[in-house]
Amino acid sequence: MTLSKQRSFVTPGPGETVEQIAARALPGRPTQKAVDDIKSWNLHIFAMRRPPGLLTGSDVVFVEPPLG
């Protein structure tokens, strides 16, 4: 059986912000573009959670678009 490619993700470190995740996970990409992309790929964190964007250590933060 061959495993399929999985979508890349990271988990936040203690106190880490989305800007810090963007710099760590998407180096070389303009920070604001990386932040905007991460937000659009993680609506479960940035649209549905209250307060929006609250990151916890158990979050799965996708750092690439959905595979499809």
In order along its 68 residues, the chain shows pLDDT tens digits of 888 889 999 999 999 999 999 999 999 999 999 999 999 999 999 888 888 888 999 999 999 999 87
- C-alpha 17/C-alpha 42 separation (Å) is 14
Q: What is the pTM of this model?
A: 0.88
Q: Considering its fold, how many domains does the chain have in total?
A: 1
Please report where in the chains the tokens 């158990």 appear, as a residue: 58
Residue 67 lies in a domain: no
Q: What is the residue whose two structure tokens read 């890349």?
A: 8
Q: Which domain holds residue 33?
A: 10-62
DSSP letter (8 states) at residue 30: -
Q: Tokens for 61?
A: 């933060």
- Confidence at residue 1, expressed as pLDDT on a 0 to 100 scale: 86
- Crossing angle for the helix pair 18-25 and 31-41, nearest 10 degrees? 100
Q: Hey, what are 2's tokens?
A: 């061959």
Whether 4 is in a domain gets the answer no
Residue 5 lies in a domain: no
